[in-house]
Amino acid sequence: MLGVRNIFRDVFIKEAEARYPYADLIISYDEYSPARLINKRHLRDYDNIEHALAFFNLQVLTSYDGDMFYGQLFSSLPHEFEIFMDREISISGNEMIITNAFAKEKGVVVGDSITIDLLGKTLTYQVSSIMKEHAIFSGTSFFIDKTSLLESLYGLSQLSNFGNVVYLKTTQSEALYQALKTDTNYQNYAIRYAVDKDQIEQRITEQISMVILAGFIVLAALVIVLNSLFPIVLKDIYQEIGVFETLGDDRKLGYKVCFYQWVVYASISFVIGWILAQIVVNISAVIYGLNAFLLIDLAIVFYSVIILFGIILFSNFFIMRKYYQKEMITKIKDRRYVLTTIHTALLGLSVLGLIVFLSFKPLTPQYNALVIVGLSLYVSLNLTTLLLKGYGKLFSKSKTTFSLFQAKHMGDNKNIHQSLNVIFIAFIVVGIMLTTRFFISKQIDEVREMHQFNFLMLNIHDYDDAIIDELLTYDVTDAAPGMFYQHITAYTHDNQFLVIMFVSTEAVKFNQFYGYDISAVSPDVLSLDIPYVMLPSSYEKVYHLKVGDRLHIDLSPELRQVEFVVGGFIPTDFDQVVYTNLAEKPAIFGVNYNAVIMNANNPKEMMNVLIQNFGGRMFYLVDAQAAVADKLAQVENILIFFTVLTVFVIFSFLMVVFNNTRLKFASLKADYAKIKVLGISNQDNFMNLAKEFFILCGVLLVVGTLEVFVLSAYLKDMLLFFDYYKNMAASIPGVLIAFALVFLSLLISYWAYFVQISNIFVSEEIRTI
């Protein structure tokens, strides 16, 4: 769990490297680039460039055997494509190389003819080769020799240096990036890293902050689980240590014995744990779709060891110190179980603190949440103890075996209380993991429902109203001009953040197409001359923004630091879309429409019409539903990764519950043997255990549910530690499933507990006590 951020970083980096193995930097054009063609000739001036591959990479209308579809055209000089594909190729002017995925999907074989429509021309090629997918040459992609393509389109063959995207391999990507940014030949193009680490960091924050937070809850839970193990495992050593003292131990041996014992346990656990963690991470990665081995960062492994040993040393020291305070002879003679204690003063202070923090919230939201979560966990754990003690007291006057044995143990046997703490924390962890999982899933559904438009036409560099008129002559039912920018950097007075989708169109259309309601713009803001932005509600918390605050946005290389005012917040969990009214007065701000959002009666047919009529103008057509599906596929993959981790964590905690019951049995085995000698029957034991089981479940359900609700109300504020916020709330199904899982696990444990008690070999036990 400590390594999850690094693991995801590795996953995303490897994913990006797999997409662009032949490039470190990519030059393409953006919404405001004055030209659509990039000339790589000037790159010869840089001696740190290993290769520069100039490609035409376009979506084109493709036909095969009467079937029309969208294909990905890759076109370069053959030797560039060889570098791109990392293999030799052979192709002539009228030939085409396609991917094996393309061939499989459409049933194409070598020798077949495929037609493309580009810039108003229809060109036919013969499939000369079918190649295995490689990097971004995947799906319905195909390759055509650039010289022959340009000759067919323009009748020119001297444009070999041109392309709409240039892939650069360099030995010094950072230096080259900075140099190109200031190079007058390229500064107006979009230059980006093939493996963009800043973007990856943002993606990590967006997609896995909740996973990391859940991981910290698991870690906190593990501390409680480990803490519950120490007294049980050390119990038998206590008497022995008393004996050591009679032999002259200077009170160091006990520390050493316990410490070495734990070092041995921890070392074995560490090796097994590390191997298991590697397996889980790599299984998750395979399910995620990554074909690479992930190694958990050694530094993280080192920190895990330090934390594990730290907990051991700390607990060991305090338990032994307390134990050494007892009289030597008491240690040898006292075979009573360890009594549970409640630190009343500390509990009182915690309750008081909790009330104060819940009522007044004196700190920043994330620190308030941290204190509330910490205190509520402490109070809940003590509440379970208090409830059990209450049950114990309640039954203490009745004269039954249950009251004298089980109720007494439940009232004050520390092992039982620790065991309940473990079950409680398992319930919390499972509840939180499931709540998080359900929340991500719900979010995906919301985003899917949110985008209520079919197409987004981008890169309209020469927009005029005739485009809308033209669109409406086709099967388009509704179209609105606007602006659409991707990956805009916005600056507040103390922060900067990346906006993935910066959209401007009429507010009514935005509400209609995106399914929001942004009518509640502050009148003070509307009266200003500067454009306003409506931000996702999470930005209010993450970037401490409020209505009326100013922020600056780089819209293009020419339009930097344009001032905007915060007009309000959009109530959504999808925090990648920002609305602005920039498009209302384009002339004032010196910007032009560059996009059209539209709906059609028959989207599939309309796609072909749009490609045919606008593709040649190098407008970029986005199938909104496909794009959303693509974006969501990433999140869904994360969800799958998270689900694998969740299943593993849940399974681990259910094992902990099971194991803890076994330990409880081990600690009470002798007493059960004694009461069997006194004549208790298995039937009576069964009834008593059933009562104990249901009381534990009752306590668990009441306190655990309360705690899950407190945690899910405040954990979202703790996400702010990661500069992230999601309005996550407890999931009722999540809590119910968590309870059902823990209930089932406890039921199986108790059944095993009962079987073990029934099978106690009384005479052997009596002889060895």
Token code pair at residue 10: 């590795």
Helix (H, G, I), strand (E, B) or coil at 461: coil
Q: What share of the chain is helix, strand, coil (3-state, %, to 5)?
A: 60, 20, 25
Interaction between residue 306 and another protein (CB under 8 A):
no
Q: How far is the CB of 676 from another protein (least distance, A)?
A: 8
Choices 102-110, 328-336, 380-388, 701-709; region in contact with another protein by CB under 8 A: 328-336
What DSSP element (H or E) covers 240?
helix 197-246
| Binding to another protein, residues 474-493 (CB under 8 A) | none
Binding-site member from 128, 671, 706, 721 for another protein (CB under 8 A): 671
Q: Which residues of 595-631 are buried (b: 16+ CB within 10 A; e: fewer)?
A: bbbbbbeebeebbbbbbebbbbebbbbbbbeeebeeb
Q: How far is the CB of 767 from another protein (least distance, A)?
A: 7
Interaction between residue 452 and another protein (CB under 8 A):
no
| 230 Cα distance to chain centroid | 34
Q: How far is the CB of 247 from another protein (least distance, A)?
A: 21
What track of x and - describes contact with another protein for positions 739 through 758 (by CB under 8 A)? Answer: -------------------x
Closest among 246, 249, 270 to 258, alpha carbons compared: 249
- Residue 478 gets the label, from left (phi > 0), alpha (psi -120 to 50) or beta, of beta
Q: Which residues of 369-382 are buried (b: 16+ CB within 10 A; e: fewer)?
A: bbbbbebbbbbbbb
Q: How far is the CB of 762 from another protein (least distance, A)?
A: 5
Task: Please list the residues that pair with 165 across neighbouring strands.
Answer: 28, 55
Q: How far is the CB of 236 from another protein (least distance, A)?
A: 14
The residue (of 706 and 766) whose beta carbon lies closer to another protein is: 766
Task: State how beta strands 113-118 and 165-170 pair.
Answer: unpaired
Other Cβ atoms within 10 Å of 503 Cβ, number: 23
The residue (of 549 and 765) whose beta carbon lies closer to another protein is: 765
Binding-site member from 30, 412, 692, 707 for another protein (CB under 8 A): 412
Interaction between residue 333 and another protein (CB under 8 A):
yes
* CA atoms of 227 and 354, how far apart (whole Å): 24
Q: Give yes or no for a contact between 486 and 500, defined as CB atoms under 8 angstroms apart.
A: yes
- DSSP labels, 543-577: S---TT-EEEEE-SSSS-SEEEEEEEEE--S-TTE
Binding-site member from 413, 505, 581, 705 for another protein (CB under 8 A): 413
Choices 10-18, 136-144, 212-220, 672-680; region in contact with another protein by CB under 8 A: 672-680
Choices 219-227, 248-256, 564-572, 668-676; region in contact with another protein by CB under 8 A: 668-676
What track of x and - describes contact with another protein for positions 620 through 659 (by CB under 8 A)? Answer: ----------------------------------------
Task: State how beta strands 113-118 and 121-131 pair.
Answer: antiparallel
Token code pair at residue 533: 């932005």
Choices 87-95, 139-147, 550-558, 678-686; region in contact with another protein by CB under 8 A: 678-686
Task: Please list the residues that pair with 322 across neighbouring strands.
Answer: none
Binding-site member from 40, 146, 409, 451 for another protein (CB under 8 A): 409
Interaction between residue 679 and another protein (CB under 8 A):
yes
The residue (of 333 and 604) whose beta carbon lies closer to another protein is: 333
The residue (of 412 and 717) whose beta carbon lies closer to another protein is: 412
Q: How far is the CB of 241 from another protein (least distance, A)?
A: 16
The residue (of 435 and 667) whose beta carbon lies closer to another protein is: 667
Token code pair at residue 574: 């999808």
Task: Please list the residues that pair with 71 across neighbouring strands.
Answer: 60
In 108-220, the DSSP E strands lie at: 113-118, 121-131, 141-145, 162-163, 165-170, 190-193
Binding-site member from 608, 674, 709, 760 for another protein (CB under 8 A): 674
The residue (of 231 and 734) whose beta carbon lies closer to another protein is: 231
Interaction between residue 336 and another protein (CB under 8 A):
yes
The residue (of 405 and 589) whose beta carbon lies closer to another protein is: 405
Token code pair at residue 368: 């308030």
Total residues contacting another protein (rule CB under 8 A)? 34
The residue (of 350 and 403) whose beta carbon lies closer to another protein is: 403
* CA atoms of 376 and 350, how far apart (whole Å): 8
Residue 46, classified by CB atoms within 10 Å of its CB into exposed (0-12), middle (13-18) or buried (19+), is middle
Q: How far is the CB of 683 from another protein (least distance, A)?
A: 6
Q: How far is the CB of 379 from another protein (least distance, A)?
A: 27
Q: Give yes or no for a contact between 401 and 690, defined as CB atoms under 8 angstroms apart.
A: no
Q: How far is the CB of 681 from another protein (least distance, A)?
A: 4
Interaction between residue 240 and another protein (CB under 8 A):
no
Interaction between residue 690 and another protein (CB under 8 A):
no
Binding-site member from 13, 313, 675, 713 for another protein (CB under 8 A): 675
What track of x and - describes contact with another protein for positions 142 through 181 (by CB under 8 A)? Answer: ----------------------------------------
Q: How far is the CB of 283 from another protein (least distance, A)?
A: 42
| Binding to another protein, residues 383-402 (CB under 8 A) | 399-401
Task: State how beta strands 455-458 and 620-623 pair.
Answer: antiparallel
Q: Give the dihedral sign, CA 549/555/561/563.
A: negative
Q: How far is the CB of 209 from another protein (least distance, A)?
A: 47
Angle between helices 732-758 and 682-718 (to 10 degrees): 150
* CA atoms of 499 and 497, how far apart (whole Å): 7
Q: Which residues bind another protein (CB under 8 A)?
A: 330, 333-337, 399-401, 403-405, 408-409, 412-413, 671, 674-684, 758, 762-763, 766-767, 769
